[in-house]
Each structure stands twice: as structure tokens, then as C-alpha cells.
Structure 1
């Protein structure tokens, strides 16, 4: 098989790249070891975060560092055995998280974030996936006035800098918006300009079906067989292409390392579990318990509880201690019933130390392109990443300046 482009990786980013290339008239083969949307894209919170102009930074205050060092925090846990290998990455992450550096990163990041909702809505309409879309935003809820006041101050700053609207809710307004939440919560910050979806895997699948309807090919294959220029083995035989895109999420550095690149990529692991809702309780939107570090959101399968960050080796066995720690807290906030899933789901978020994704050409090969490292915002940034990279690959004017996301910044 001969195509214009091979896209390796059928998560939200890879599917979006393949779809945007196909919409521009290229012949494209989308290659993965699994069906679309069945790795990291399967287990996220379903948020399309228009407010997320400041990517999640590493804490720099001593109180937070001491709390995380104890390895008992509910929002961040780590595997001690993995720390020697992860410390150089974490130091660089901490370095880039200084307030002035973080602000500069946000200025670059915002050029992608500002298009996340509109690009998703365009593809959702074309894919016939409107039933999965939930408009009207999501909220962070708080247990103490100190944390609530700090979140409101951040939201006001983000609105002043980037025009991201927010709503501050006191306890009465919070209970009106979400009657099933318990009064242990005193208030919330709501971001109405963001969207969410009720089935992230279903959304990726809908985008993949649109890609196929436009004439794209989805193939089961082995990314480790990628060879210049450009060839990959699949179950339907070898595929040759003029260009190749690596969009393998947390496995991207396996492919880039084989080609001679040394790009810093680490994995933030996370878990989810679905629950029934007791006594007819209803949750209307995603809710982040900001001080406890978990999120609950209504999904097709039930109420999904997602955890914060687990730092460890990407492929280490499951250690869902965070889920066990936050489940009682979540039950104290919302009337969760029995578990729906047989076991917790585990996924890995691909992260760079400067919190910016890697989008653009490889520096050692002609017609090799990268699209990975989106950390917590893979679902949010999938379609805009696909559009930006497709514009770069086809030589057309780009919707945003790609310079901050280039691979050679490292």
C-alpha cells in the first residue's frame, strides 16, 4: 500500500491529525496496535478545557513539596523505585514552573487553547457526534474558604489576561446547580466556556469513522517497524508513505529514540472507575474536588471517578492506591453506588518538562513529524493539534505560530 502519509497512533491526537490531513486531500493510513481511542484517550475526564491556558505546573512552595514528599497526598503519589530515573525530568519541570516562566509558557499555550472548543465542535458536527457533547462548562468545588478565594483570584487573573469567563458560586448557588452534592462543599468556580463529552472513547471512535468515510484507512500495525523513508508493517501488509507522523502519546519516545532523537517525555499515570448513582441522584457536569485531587463526571457508563497523578514507570503494574484513597472522599461529596467496572482502568499522560506539546517536524529526517506530549490536555488539544500539523505538512498558512512547540527547543 502506498499513501501520502502514515500516522502512527490512534488516540485523539493521532486520529485528529489523520482526519485533518484527509480533509485536505491526502491519502492517509492511520496505524495502531489497537482500535482508535483505546489507550490514554479512553480514560480521561472528557473535558475540553477552554480555560486551561495555564498548563498544570509543578508546585514550588515548600509546604506542597513536603506534603507530596510524604507520598500520602490524595492528588499525587509516586513509586519510590522510579524516582532516581524521574528526578532529572522533575527538576526541569520544577524549573519551568517558576511564575515568570509559567506565564511565558501560558502565552504560547493559549494560542492552541483558544481554538480547542471551536475545532472540536466543527469535527463533532461533521462526525455526527453531537449526542456526546455537553456544553455549559464544568466546575471546581472547594471545602475551605482559603482555597476557594485563591481559585477565584486565579480565575479573575486568567479572565483579565485571556478573556476566559468564570463564575464564582457560593454554597447556595452551588447547591442550586448541583443539588446532589453534599454541603461539605462551600463554593465553586465554574468555567462556562468549556465543553465536555460523555464518552471520550466514543468521540475518538466517531472521528475515526469520519476519517474512514472520507477515504482514510485504519490499520492494525506495529509502530516499532517504522523505518525511513517511510515504511511500516501492518496486518494488511507493508505500507509506504511520503511522510510519517509519530502521535503515539506516552509511547512516542520509544519510536523517536529508535530514530536517534532524545526528547524528554515522562508519563503521569492516572486511574478511573465507574459507579452507579444512588437514590436517583444526578450529576449535571464534571466536578473537580480541587482540594482532594479527584474528579467526578457523568459518563455513558455511569459516574466516572478519575484520580490525579501517579509518578512511576510508564509500564509498571497497576497500583491504584490513589483510587482507594479518594473513593471515600467522593462518596462523601456525591451519593456513589456500587462499582460498575471489574477493575480500575489505568492510563498514562505524555508530558514534557516545559508543559508544551511537541508539534512539528523532526530535525534529523525529512518528512517526519511529531504530535505528542499534551499531558492533561490531550483531548482538549487533539483537533487543534491536528489542524496545525496538517497545515504545516501541506505548506498552508497556520492557525497558530508553531515555533513554541518545535522539537528542537530541547
Structure 2
């Protein structure tokens, strides 16, 4: 229910309805004193409305109605605030930033007062933000609550309009801090211009420039694990591979990249998870591809050599295949399901258990066998 003045306006100020908890408290004061408050306050200036709502949310708002009601209309604003909250000179300018409408819940005014009194670093940073934002709303408080200390700067909050944006930005900041040893102020300056939605390219550039210990795998005699951003850039530029763009996937734990020490080749691994009933999920690294300079594939001999060393280390070779007691060509030529015999992204691999014949060397299906198979299919169709 919204209640406004019934009498004509005394000036050109617009009528601003009063609703919610503030309307209910003003209505109680009117009933207790017989003094009209809602009508005059509906056309009052912004500063008076802001102070009146702050006073109604305080203990003073529950004091003697006969004394309080007239002061709401004509009392000195600073005196009202001082009686309600004590001597805090910086409170009135902050209240003006709330605007002419009350905050939707009264306890936010007490939260605001606690920030004005705050002596801890977090509270002072929150107050500094509130003193600079154009408008203080309940969403402003929610945004502030969602941001970690390293992002609690006016320029960052100014780029956010929703609580969900602040949550996502906080996740991005934690993600970058996990790998990039950036000072708080540097991180805030980096994210402030794109606070509402940090682009992938910016995150990748940051990881290339500052990323450390990105992949949790260890080096060995055969493979160098790409861990640092600069190594991604150096090797990618040297071999003509797009490793600068792939670093974001590596930091997210989706992929890992290993340089083969004996030949100019990079292995790409993908993280997979398998679940078996009654067992906890198991995470493994699957071999996804082998890349030589300029994205060229390795020879089959080299691919087998690298794959063998990767599997000895425990990385998974995954493929779909046919029944092991059947010849490969039979399933390739007559199966309804496309059989995936090669490893993902690697033409040279084959899952163990079948013969090691090169698919290119398989004989074509004999014409006589093809004719018999067709006749059999026609006969089966006629029976159905």
C-alpha cells in the first residue's frame, strides 16, 4: 500500500510515494499524534526524506511520537541524525547517496552506521566505496558483500550492477590469484574495466604474463610439463602452435601440455572422470593429441614411441573399438556405428587387443561377399 498527500502541492517538487516499512511507521506516528506526515514528506526534498527514513530506522524512531513527529517535518537535519546515531559528520552526505526513497529494509541503515564507525580495514574500505558510488541501493550492499578485499575498490564496484556479476568476478579473482602473484591493487586495476564480464582473451594474456605452476604434473626424463605462462608463449611461438590461447584451458584444469624432450612434439592431455557404482569418481589424464611444429602430425613411428612413453607414465589411451575376436575391416565396412579406432586427435594410435594393421592397408570387401550380404539383407527384410 502506498499513501501520498491528498492536498495540492505547495511547490513544484514531484510527489514521491512512500511505501513499505517507512510508510507503516509514519502511519503509526500519524495515528498517535494526529499530525499529517505522509503528505508533506511525499513532496519533501531529498535530504529531508533521506534523514527521516534513517531516523525512523533508529531507536529514536520508537521514541515519544509527540516529540518526534514535528521534528521530522521541520527539525534541523544534523540535529535529528545526531540524536538518532550520535555525532558522525560524514553520515549525511552518505544518506544523500541513497536518494529520496527508503532502503527496502530498515536494518541497512544500522549497517551503514556501523561502517561509519568502523575501525577495521574491511569496514573502512566498504565505507570508502559507499562514499563514491553514485547511488546506494540494497544491491550495492550485496555487491560489496560478494567481493573479496582485493577487489573492494570504488572503480571495481562502479563497473558492477548485479550481485551475480560480483560473485562471478570474485570467482575470477580467486582463479587468477591461484596462479598469478599480483598485488591487490594491480588485480583491481586489471579487472575494473571489464568487471561485468572479464573476456577470455584478457584472462589468457594475464596467465601468459604472470602465470606460475599452472599444471600439477611433474617433469620427467621424457617430458617437460608446461607450467608457466612464459613457457607457453615461448614454445608456442617457436613451434607455431596456439599455446597462448590454450593456457586458459590448462589453468582451468581441462587440459595439460607436455613437450617431448627428444623431438619437437607437444602432447595434449585432457582430464576425464570415470564413475563406477559404489566407487568415488576417479580423475585421469587422457591422451588427446600429438602436435609437431606448425601443427603437423608426427610420423606413425614417432607417435607410437611417444604414446608408449605416455602410457608407461600412467596416462590413459582411450578409444572405441569392435569385438577383439573380429577383424578390423569387417566392423569398419559393415558396422552401423562409426568405430573410433584412433586416439582422439592422433592418427597414429591404436588401442591394444586387436591386430596392428594399418587401416589404409586393409583389403576392400570382396565383391562376392558384398553381393551375398545384400541378398541376405533383402531376404531378412522380406521376412519381416
TM-score range, shorter chain: under 0.3
The structure showing larger relative contact order (alpha-carbon pairs under 8 Å, at least 6 residues apart) is 1
TM-score, with structure 1 as normaliser: 0.18
- Structure having the higher helix fraction is 2
TM-score, with structure 2 as normaliser: 0.19
Greater CA radius of gyration, 1 or 2? Answer: 2
